């Protein structure tokens, strides 16, 4: 079980068949390519922020039901996904999915007209403006299994970060995370599949946590989750509000949640969201960013799918950023950014600006 699969970079090529190897114990070249594409997701074709890939770690228990099936065409993605494209997008019951090209057809899906609106406007629940809920005193506990083989887990992380970015426009970048977590907390569940199942601690009570938050003002700093085997608790873990993760204290049983603490991530995987003049870009370096690493990247601003369509593209074509990731004693990850102009800089957690 991977505590944070974003930090795992196992290459599918290591599973490729070697000369004379039993083909039932390895992957063909085409299978290796398919696994890489599933892990990468459409992002690598359409662009960062469109739809991330499925994370590593859930292949054994999650993929057979949703992705691979017991035979080609028997996974639930086939029965759930193909009718959508046949009848909602292309209006053709004989449409052949082999003809779909993410590079050219993704805009067709987003822009399909439905009663005067686009399909994206009808279906995409990605608006980061949660001010109406916040003003009414509403609270959100959002959880997502890190081994989900259906909905890519980073979608939830990306949405949470977009809400942090929206709060930064109101409260400023230094207060954005705290303002967001005052009414909205995301809990990533290591080893849990789609809404449940999997090898992780997948049994937990969010309803009581929500009641305590709304009715008693007790924000959930951790939610205890358990994994049951034959009706008995095999182990328990705390679920921590993102971006914190559960870490074993080094003493006591590692099967008992009492011996874990919620702490800042030991590093950042490089999936750094930055809101620039009300416009978001995403920097995803190939290497993992560790504390004090210095990375330089040139990016072309582009509109992410969750961005409101009426927001303008900033009046620059290319921005060069230098990103330094450090760890703050207060358990916040600080992203220091040097930019080619003096934009408003918003990191997912807390931010400092140098020019």
Q: Please enumerate in sequence order all residues whose Cβ is within 8 A of that of 287, keeping only pairs 6 or more positions apart, or say none.
A: 270, 295
| Together in a domain, 23 and 146 | no
Using CA atoms, how far apart are residues 47 and 44, in angstroms rounded to an integer?
Answer: 6
pLDDT tens digits along 131-161: 999 999 999 999 999 999 999 999 999 999 9
What are the residue ranges of helices labelled H in the chain?
A: 29-40, 43-46, 59-63, 76-83, 102-111, 119-123, 131-135, 153-171, 176-181, 206-216
**30: helix, strand or coil:** helix
State whether 107 and 143 are in the same domain.
Answer: no
Same domain for 106 and 146, yes or no, is: no
166/132 Cα distance (integer angstroms): 13
* pLDDT above 90: residue 333: no
Q: How far is CA 342 from CA 250, 319, 321, in A?
A: 44, 11, 11
Higher pLDDT, 111 or 295: 111
Chain center to CA of 106: 20
**CA 141: distance to chain centroid?**
16
Cβ proximity of 265 and 4 under 8 Å = yes
13, 59: one domain: yes
Q: Are residues 300 and 195 in the same domain?
A: no
Q: What letter would DSSP give residue 231?
A: T
Q: What is the pLDDT of residues 231-258, one digit of tens each?
A: 999 999 999 999 999 999 999 999 999 9
Q: What angle do CA 308, 309, 313 make, to 5 degrees?
A: 100
Q: What is the pLDDT of residue 317?
A: 34
User: Cβ distance 322 to 340 under 8 Å?
Assistant: no
Lowest mean pLDDT among 63-67, 197-201, 285-289: 285-289
One domain, residues 291 and 228 = no
In the predicted structure, residue 349 carries a pLDDT above the cut 70: no
Within this chain, do residues 184 and 303 fall inside the same structural domain, yes or no? no
Same domain, 188 and 68: no
Backbone phi, then psi, for 340, in 5-degree steps?
A: -75, -15
Highest mean pLDDT of the ranges 43-52, 221-230, 311-320: 221-230
Name the domain count of the chain.
3
Whether residues 137 and 238 fall in one domain: yes
DSSP 268: B
Pick from 268, 212, 218: nearest CA to 244: 268
Last residue of a domain, one of 230, 263, 296: 263
Q: Is the pLDDT of residue 297 over 60?
A: no
Residue at which a domain ends, from 69, 99, 123: 123
Q: Are residues 198 and 110 in the same domain?
A: no
Could you tell me which of 117, 79, 26 has the C-alpha nearest to residue 309? 117
Pair of tokens at residue 321: 């950023």
- Residue found under tokens 């390895």: 26
Same domain as 293, residue 333: yes
Q: Which two tokens stand for residue 236?
A: 């328990």
Asked whether residue 117 falls in the same domain as residue 211, the answer is: no
Q: Does residue 55 carry a pLDDT above 80? A: yes
Tell which of 263, 282, 304 closes a domain: 263
| Greater model confidence, 43 or 226 | 226
Structural domain including 327 reads: 272-354
């Amino acid at each position: 079980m991977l505590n944070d699969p974003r930090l795992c970079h196992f290459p599918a090529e290591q599973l490729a068949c070697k000369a004379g190897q039993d083909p039932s114990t390895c992957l063909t070249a085409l299978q290796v390519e398919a696994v890489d594409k599933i892990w990468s997701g459409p992002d690598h074709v359409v662009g960062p922020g469109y739809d991330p890939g499925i994370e590593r770690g859930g292949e054994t228990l999650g993929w057979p039901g949703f992705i691979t099936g017991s035979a080609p065409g028997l996974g639930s993605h086939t029965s759930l996904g193909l009718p959508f494209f046949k009848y909602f997008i292309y209006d053709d019951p004989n449409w052949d999915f082999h003809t779909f090209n993410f590079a050219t057809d993704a805009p067709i899906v987003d822009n399909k007209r439905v009663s005067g609106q686009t399909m994206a406007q009808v279906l995409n629940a990605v608006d980061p403006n949660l001010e109406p809920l916040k003003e009414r005193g509403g609270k959100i506990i959002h959880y997502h299994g890190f081994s989900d083989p259906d909905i890519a887990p980073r979608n939830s992380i990306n949405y949470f970060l977009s809400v942090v970015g929206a709060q930064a426009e109101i409260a400023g970048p230094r207060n954005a995370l705290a303002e967001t977590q005052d009414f909205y907390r995301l809990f990533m569940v290591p080893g849990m599949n789609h809404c449940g199942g999997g090898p992780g601690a997948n049994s937990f009570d969010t309803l009581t946590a929500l009641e305590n938050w709304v009715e008693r003002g007790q924000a959930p700093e951790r939610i205890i989750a358990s994994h049951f085997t034959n009706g008995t608790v095999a182990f328990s873990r705390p679920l921590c509000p993102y971006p914190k993760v559960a870490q074993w204290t080094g003493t006591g049983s590692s099967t008992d949640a009492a011996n874990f603490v919620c702490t800042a991530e030991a590093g950042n995987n490089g999936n750094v969201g930055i809101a620039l003049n009300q416009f978001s870009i995403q920097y995803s370096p190939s290497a993992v960013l560790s504390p004090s690493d210095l990375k330089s990247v040139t990016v072309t601003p582009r509109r992410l799918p969750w961005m409101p369509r009426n927001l303008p593209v900033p009046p620059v074509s290319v921005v060069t950023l230098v990103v330094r990731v450090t760890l703050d004693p207060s358990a916040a990850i600080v992203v220091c950014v040097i930019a080619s102009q003096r934009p408003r800089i918003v990191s997912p957690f807390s931010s400092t600006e140098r020019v």
